[in-house]
């Protein structure tokens, strides 16, 4: 049984999402909707981590790292900077999303209904963050790339 | 028949004509003429200072407007007029109208010819198009121009320039209405009708202070409330508005918590089995998700968040849950608040789960704030493509390109149009150096006024302002174009219940002022915009040909104007597009090939794609969308312990450009005030009339205190007051205080959010606040003289 590995992966990925949200929020206060939405999405990421905690304990996964805001590299023109940072956030979300998929597969195989329930509820929230990030990237790209 | 004179500042809603359920609303024709006037002719029009669409005629004598008279035949008002209808027209003849174009030279705005002004605009447009492309140009229009104006601007921006940067100030008033309808019914389009007031046995007003925003609609409701078998009334509003005083249940929820209250109402309706399960099964999708989302939202849970009594929430749920004919209306209390679209969608959900759609008395009115807001939505001047087309549906875009005879790639459709707050960001960042503002005053009306000033007055933006007066915004423009106004030009506009009215030219505009349509036709000509075959892109030349071009564009679309012509509007009066009610047969414009949007996540605004929509709603049913409540972005804290709520008063419109120039309206509400609950005023050592400072993290203003009917913990400030008529005084604009934040779905700014601190500056010395006493700002007690208009405010009412 290696579900503990999958749980640790998901938790690391969600922690990275939380850190990326903090970083994007801190760097883009002037893009007010982005700033406010990173706060809302951070609540969802925190809720996911909270939901994971009991199953992590049950599978003997050690304590999770603190979400450290990643130091984004490369400053560019204002619009491009937002594209750059949201793209990083997208990748964090994508990582977390596929990790939820894998954990969900494992949970089904292990016939662990409680874990499966956590996965389906949490994965929906990760996908919601992913969807917002794609939407905002698509919104920002035309002006950033043609101005 | 009886005739009487009524002071319509003191009694803005006029004399009652009580009516029972299902009975037609009696005529009551209101008329007002200046002393001694004898009009030579009467010219047809409708309200331009609110969204009700009251129809009336304007009396003309010696080339001047001398009075107004309601149109008794019209379905909307049956002859009645509100105070802004009666008195607002006087602003047209104000001696400070703009009469010639102005061009900034050597730092000063100086008179210029039309050729010089238009050449300057065209030269800048061309240079930017060549050097930086269409994304360098943005257009920000109004909710007060005509359909013909908007449609012409939409084709110029979207196909002529080819920019996605076009929005209306309707973003501030009606964006959530349109978005909520799109999310719930797949497409914009007002489901209900004002006639539903006459049939309903329960009316629920959600954040809708109808007594002040649409006084004639409130008169209709009052006539039901005072007639036999009156409807029950629910009001959700943090202020003790006049409707709240008449309500059976009033939920004075804490600002920013509407969604929590709505989720609890829906939970109770579902838990008590007050749903029409057959209707839901046949006509809706998403019920399970809704049920699961609201299941934990008990009245006790919501009571803690909203700070209202749990039993009051139960009573409210019973009122809407047991009604046989339920009419729900929604306005700014929801639209300009946190989680705006999500909350407005829950009102739609209430109507859907109760099967209260498409029958007499059963309707939803997602109201508009401004008189012609509906037309920005229909013509594509506010962020949507013309004719409720879906930017993400290639067939819709191809169809629009066919109508306009342009390459589909010329029409930006890679995303929703850029909303105004995002345009401000691009202005701030320098990627949008050209900004053309028509008939609106963003320096006073956009949130966080200090930021807007620094962006628009920076000198980095080429700012064109097209207006009637030298507004606060016009003062910082590079080019000012003098525009003709309502009654000086012809066109149509559509009210909140889809009633189309014709407004005819009655008098000439002052000086060289020109109709907005003519200004844009001139721009299109000078820019030489061409279609795919080399013909002129804008091929119409006057209001009626513009109207017919628009009709061709929306033919076969849900908002088809088929059968509505200038001739028919002239012969009769207002005509509804779409018939009395939409969705009478439980059919919606929601099929995947037909819908205006594939939808957004209500919590984040994340867009669904076509595949997801097809899976969700293959048969084009109504969509029950749900969302969890999350706290608002800026709650009260130690430093700023009160919640800010900005809003309007009955006697003014927007930034008072017109109503501040109408003596009776100006006198009724001459200056800004701040409204506090008695308990908060006591705590702060403030009494009626004291001068107070209101400060947020963003700015400060001073205002006199009205101790009134707003709920505890909230400071209400009216947003109408800028500095055009008092330039030496520090700004008193409510938007000095507001937060830059908007709803993630509709992008409507949160004007009813943020935290403030109120402190005493000076004693009032017994002088009351300059706030009306006969509206939501009524004093809580004490000896405050009642608002009166006097002999100059007397209207002749002709009753049956």
Among the listed ranges A62-76, B521-535, B649-663, B665-679, which one has the minimum average pLDDT value?
A62-76
Secondary structure string (H, E, C) spanning chain A = CCHHHHHHHHHHHHHHHHHHHHHHHHHCCCCHHHHHHHHHHHHHHHHHHHHHHHHHHHCCCCCCCCCCCCCCCCCCCHHHHHHHHHHHHHHHHHHHHHHHHHHHHHHHHCCCHHHHHHHHHHHHHHHHHHHHHHHHHHHHHHHHHHC
Residues 87-116, chain A, touching B (beta carbon < 8 A): none
Looking at the partner chain, which of A36, A129, A147 has a beta carbon nearest the beta carbon of B431?
Answer: A147
- List C-alpha distances in Å: B108 to B111, B112, B183, B480: 10, 12, 47, 12
The chain A residue lying nearest B132, using CA atoms, is A147
Mutate to test the interface with B, among A34, A45, A131, A136 (most CBs of B within 10 A): A131
Q: Give dist(CA A50, CA A40) in Å, integer.
A: 15
The predicted model gives B729-751 an average pLDDT of: 97
pLDDT at A74 over 70: no
CA distance B366 to B353: 17
Helix, strand, or coil (residue B449): helix
Q: What pLDDT sits at residue A69?
A: 59
Give the list of residues 6+ apart from residue B538 with CB closer than 8 angstroms, or none: B152, B155, B156, B160, B520, B521, B524, B525, B529
What is the residue-averaged pLDDT of chain B? Answer: 97
- Facing B135 at nearest CB: one of A129, A131, A142: A142
d(CA B351, CA B364): 7
Contacts with B203 (C-beta within 8 Å, 6 or more apart), sequence order: B197, B221, B224, B231, B232, B233, B234, B326, B327, B328, B329
> Quick check: B426 and A31 CB within 8 A?
no
- Across B518-557, b (16+ Cβ under 10 Å) vs e yields bbbbbbbebbebebeeeeebbebeebbebbebbbebbeeb
The CA distance from A86 to A46, in Å, is 19
Share of chain B residues as helix, strand and coil, in percent rounded to the nearest 5: 35, 20, 50
- In the structure encoding, which two tokens stand for residue B761, read together? 């500056």
Rounded Cα–Cα distance for residues B313 and B715 (Å): 24
Is the model's pLDDT at A71 over the cut of 70? no
Give the whole-angstrom CA distance, residue B790 versus residue B720: 23
Q: What is the pLDDT of residues B30-77, one digit of tens each?
A: 999 999 999 999 999 999 999 999 999 999 999 999 999 999 999 999
* SS (HEC) of B265-308: HHHHHHHCCCCCHHHHHHHEECHHHHHHHHCCCCHHHHHHHHCC
* Whether the Cβ atoms of residue B110 and residue B136 lie closer than 8 Å to each other: no
User: From the CA of A27, how many Å to the nearest CA of chain B?
Assistant: 15
Whole-number pLDDT of residue A73: 56
Inform me whether the C-beta atom of residue A37 falls under 8 Å from chain B C-beta atoms. yes
Q: What number is the average pLDDT over the span A69-97?
A: 84
CATH architecture assigned to A3-60+76-146: Up-down Bundle (1.20)
CB proximity A41 to B under 8 Å = yes
Q: How many CB atoms lie within 10 A of CB B617?
A: 23
Instruction: Please compute, for residue B156, the number of CA atoms within 13 A of its CA located in the half-sphere on the CB side.
Output: 30
Q: Choose from A117, A143, A144, A145 for mutation: most chain B CBs within 10 A.
A: A143
Q: What is the pLDDT of residues B133-173, one digit of tens each?
A: 999 999 999 999 999 999 999 999 999 999 999 999 999 99
Per-residue confidence (pLDDT) for residue B401, from 0 to 100: 98
Nearest residue of chain B to residue A138 (CA atoms): B415
Q: Name B491's bridge partners.
A: B503
> How far is residue B183's CA from residue B51's CA, in Å, rounded to a whole number?
22
DSSP state of B779: B
Best of A132, A133, A138, A145 to substitute, by most chain B Cβ atoms within 10 angstroms, is A132
Question: Residue A143 is nearest to which of B431, B608, B630, comparing CB atoms?
Answer: B431
Q: Which residues of B touch A37 (CB under 8 A)?
A: 604-605, 744
Q: How many whole angstroms from its chain centre is CA A123?
A: 10
Burial class (CB in 10 A: 0-12, 13-18, 19+), B359: middle
Per-residue pLDDT at B369 exceeds 90:
no
Residue A75 pLDDT level (bands cut at 50, 70, 90): low
ipTM above 0.85, yes or no: yes
The string of pLDDT tens digits covering residues B307-351 is: 999 999 999 999 999 999 999 999 999 999 999 999 999 999 999
Closest CA to B210 of B431, B455, B626, B496: B496
B603 in contact with chain A, both atoms CB, cutoff 8 A: yes
The reply to whether residue B604 touches residue A142, judged by beta carbons under 8 angstroms, is no
pLDDT of residue A79: 87
| B 132-191 near A (Cβ less than 8 A) | 132-133, 135-136, 164
If we measure between CA atoms, which residue out of B264, B362, B268, B274 comes closest to residue B307? B264
Bridge partners of A22, per DSSP, are none
Distances (CA, A) of B510 to B37, B100, B488: 21, 9, 9
Closest residue in B to A139 (Cα–Cα): B415
CA Rg value for chain A: 16
Find the residue in A nearest to B606 (Cα): A132
Residue B610 above 70 pLDDT?
yes
Confidence of residue B246 (pLDDT cuts 50, 70, 90): very high
Residue linked to tokens 């000063």:
B108
Tell me the per-residue pLDDT of B581-596, one tens digit each, with 9 for 90 and over: 999 989 999 999 999 9
Nearest to B770 by CA among B677, B685, B680, B668: B668
**B433 pLDDT exceeds 90?**
yes
Tell me how many degrees the CA angle B559-B50-B390 measures, rounded to the nearest 5: 25
Q: What pLDDT is recorded for position B510?
A: 98
CA distances from residue B729 to B667, B692, B721, B722, B738 in whole angstroms, order as listed: 19, 15, 12, 10, 20
pLDDT tens digits along B378-420: 999 998 999 999 999 999 999 999 999 999 999 999 999 999 9
Q: What is the four-CA torsion angle of B41, B42, B44, B45, rounded to 10 degrees?
A: 120
Distance of alpha carbon B333 from its chain centroid, rounded?
12
What are the chain A neighbours of B601 within 8 Å (beta carbons)? 128, 131-132
Instruction: Identify the pLDDT of residue B486.
Output: 97
**Residue B786's CB: how many other CB atoms inside 10 A?**
10
The answer to whether residue A78 neighbours chain B at the CB level (below 8 Å) is: yes
Residues of B in contact with A134 (CB under 8 A): 606-607
Tally Cβ neighbours within 10 Å of residue B129. 19
Compute the distance between CA of residue B219 and CA of residue B77 in angstroms, rounded to an integer: 9
Q: Do B136 and A131 touch (CB under 8 A)?
A: no
CB pairs < 8 Å spanning A and B:
79
Distance (Å, rounded) from C-alpha A23 to C-alpha A38? 9
List the 746-775 stretch of B: residues with Cβ below 8 A of A: 747
Phi, psi (degrees; rounded to nearest 5) at B607: -80, 135
Residue B378's alpha-carbon distances to B193, B281, B348, B692, in angstroms, are 18, 31, 20, 43
- Put simply, whether A134 touches B (Cβ < 8 Å) is yes
pTM of the predicted model over 0.90:
yes
The answer to whether B333 and B236 have CB atoms below 8 angstroms apart is: yes
Burial of B63 (0-12, 13-18, 19+ CB in 10 A): exposed
Mark yes or no for CB contact A147/B601 under 8 Å: no
CA nearest to A43 within chain B: B630
Query: What pLDDT does A63 receive?
Result: 74
- Which of the residues A93, A121, A126, A147 would you substitute to probe the B interface, choosing the one with the greatest number of B C-beta atoms within 10 Å? A147
Q: Which of A42, A135, A144, A146 would you mutate first to test chain B, the one with the most B CBs within 10 A?
A: A135
pLDDT band at A1 (very low <50, low <70, confident <90, very high): confident
- Closest by Cβ to B606, choosing from A33, A43, A128: A128
Q: For chain A, give every domain's residue range.
A: 3-60+76-146
Handedness of CA B680, B683, B688, B691 (dihedral sign): negative
The shortest C-alpha distance from A137 to chain B (Å) reads 11
Q: What is the DSSP string of B669-686?
A: S-S-EEEE-HHHHHHTT-
Q: Which of B132, B133, B744 sits opposite A33 (nearest CB)?
A: B744
Contacts of B422 (CB under 8 A, 6+ apart): A33, A139, B747
C-beta of residue A136 within 8 angstroms of C-beta of residue A28: no
Q: Closest-CA residue in chain A for B131? A: A147
* Strand, helix or coil for residue B557: coil
pLDDT of residue A65: 67
**B141 phi/psi in degrees, rounded to 5:** -110, -150
Predicted pLDDT of residue B4:
97
How far does B412 lie from chain A, in Å, by closest CA? 10
């Amino acid at each position: 049984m290696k579900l503990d590995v999958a749980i640790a992966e998901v938790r690391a990925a969600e922690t990275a999402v939380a850190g990326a949200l903090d970083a994007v929020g801190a760097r883009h206060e002037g893009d007010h909707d982005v700033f406010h939405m990173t706060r809302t999405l951070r609540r969802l990421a925190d809720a996911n981590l909270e939901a994971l905690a009991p199953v992590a304990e049950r599978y003997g996964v050690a304590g999770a790292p603190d979400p450290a805001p990643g130091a984004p590299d490369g400053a560019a023109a204002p619009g491009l900077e937002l594209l750059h940072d949201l793209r990083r956030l997208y990748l964090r979300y994508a990582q977390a999303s596929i990790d939820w998929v894998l954990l969900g597969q494992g949970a089904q195989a292990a016939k662990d209904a409680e874990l499966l329930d956590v996965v389906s509820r949490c994965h929906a929230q990760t996908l919601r963050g992913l969807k917002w990030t794609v939407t905002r990237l698509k919104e920002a790209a035309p002006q950033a790339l043609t101005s | 028949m009886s005739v009487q004179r009524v002071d319509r500042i003191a009694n803005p809603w006029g004399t009652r004509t009580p009516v029972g359920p299902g009975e037609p609303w009696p005529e009551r024709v209101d008329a007002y003429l200046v002393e001694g006037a004898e009009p030579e002719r009467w010219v047809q029009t409708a309200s331009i200072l609110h969204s009700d669409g009251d129809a009336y005629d304007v009396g003309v004598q010696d080339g001047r407007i001398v009075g107004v008279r309601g149109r008794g035949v019209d379905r909307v008002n049956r002859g009645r007029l509100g105070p802004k209808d009666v008195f607002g027209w006087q602003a047209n003849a104000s001696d400070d109208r703009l009469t010639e174009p102005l061009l900034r030279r050597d730092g000063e705005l100086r008179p210029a010819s039309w050729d010089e002004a238009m050449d300057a605009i065209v030269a800048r447009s061309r240079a930017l198009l060549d050097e930086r492309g269409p994304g360098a140009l943005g257009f920000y229009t109004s909710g007060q121009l005509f359909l013909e104006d908007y449609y012409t601007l939409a084709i110029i921006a979207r196909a002529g320039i080819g920019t996605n940067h076009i929005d209306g100030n309707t973003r501030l008033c009606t964006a959530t209405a349109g978005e909520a309808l799109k999310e719930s019914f797949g497409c914009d389009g007002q489901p209900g009708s004002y006639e539903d007031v006459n049939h309903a046995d329960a009316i629920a007003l959600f954040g809708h202070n109808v007594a002040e925003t649409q006084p004639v609609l409130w008169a209709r409701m009052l006539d039901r409330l005072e007639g036999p078998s009156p409807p029950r009334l629910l009001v959700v509003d943090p202020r003790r508005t006049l409707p709240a005083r008449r309500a059976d249940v009033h939920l004075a929820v804490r600002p920013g918590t509407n969604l929590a209250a709505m989720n609890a109402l829906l939970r109770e309706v579902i838990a008590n089995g007050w749903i029409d399960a057959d209707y839901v099964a046949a006509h809706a999708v998403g019920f399970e998700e809704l049920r699961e989302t609201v299941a934990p939202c008990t009245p006790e849970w919501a009571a803690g968040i909203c700070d209202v009594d749990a039993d009051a929430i139960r009573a409210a749920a019973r009122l809407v849950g047991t009604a046989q004919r339920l009419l729900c209306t929604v306005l700014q209390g929801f639209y300009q608040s946190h989680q705006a679209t999500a909350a407005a969608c829950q009102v739609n959900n209430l109507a859907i789960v109760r099967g209260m759609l498409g029958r007499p008395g059963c309707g939803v009115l997602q109201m508009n704030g401004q008189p012609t807001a509906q037309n920005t939505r229909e013509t594509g001047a506010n962020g949507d493509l013309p004719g409720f087309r879906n930017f993400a549906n290639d067939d819709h875009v191809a169809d629009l390109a066919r109508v306009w005879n342009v390459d589909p790639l010329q029409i930006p459709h890679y995303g929703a149009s850029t909303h105004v707050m995002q345009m401000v960001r691009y202005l701030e960042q320098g990627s949008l150096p050209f900004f053309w503002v028509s008939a609106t005053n963003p320096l006073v009306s956009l949130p966080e006024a200090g930021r807007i000033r620094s962006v628009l007055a920076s000198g980095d933006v080429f700012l064109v302002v097209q207006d009637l007066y030298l507004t606060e915004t016009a003062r910082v423009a590079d080019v000012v174009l003098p525009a003709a106004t309502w009654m000086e030009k012809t066109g149509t506009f559509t009210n909140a219940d889809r009633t189309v009215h014709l407004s005819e030219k009655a008098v000439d505009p002052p000086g060289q002022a020109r109709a907005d349509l003519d200004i844009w036709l001139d721009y299109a000509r000078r820019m030489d915009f061409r279609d795919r075959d080399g013909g002129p892109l804008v091929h119409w030349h006057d209001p009626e040909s513009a109207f017919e071009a628009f009709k061709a564009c929306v033919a076969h679309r849900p908002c088809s104007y088929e059968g509505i012509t200038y001739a028919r509007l002239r012969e009769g009066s207002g005509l509804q597009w779409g018939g009395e009610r939409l969705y009478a047969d439980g059919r919606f414009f929601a099929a995947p090939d037909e819908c205006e949007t594939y939808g957004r996540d209500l919590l984040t605004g994340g867009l669904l794609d076509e595949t997801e929509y097809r899976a969700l709603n293959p048969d084009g049913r109504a969509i029950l969308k749900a969302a969890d409540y999350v706290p608002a972005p800026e709650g009260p804290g130690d430093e700023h312990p009160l919640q800010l709520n900005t809003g309007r008063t009955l006697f003014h419109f927007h930034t008072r450009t017109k109503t501040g120039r109408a003596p009776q309206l100006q006198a009724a509400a001459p200056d800004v005030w701040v409204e506090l609950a008695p308990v908060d005023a006591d705590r702060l050592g403030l009494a009626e009339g004291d001068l107070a400072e209101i400060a947020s993290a963003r700015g400060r203003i001073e205002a006199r205190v009205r101790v009134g009917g707003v709920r505890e913990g909230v400071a209400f400030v009216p947003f109408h007051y800028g500095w055009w008529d008092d330039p030496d005084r520090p700004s008193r604009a409510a938007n000095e205080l507001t937060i830059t934040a908007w709803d993630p779905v509709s992008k409507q700014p949160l004007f009813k959010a943020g935290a403030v601190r109120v402190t005493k500056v000076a004693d009032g010395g017994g002088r009351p606040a300059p706030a009306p006493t006969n509206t939501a700002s009524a004093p809580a007690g004490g000896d405050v003289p009642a608002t009166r208009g006097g002999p100059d405010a007397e209207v002749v009412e002709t009753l049956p």
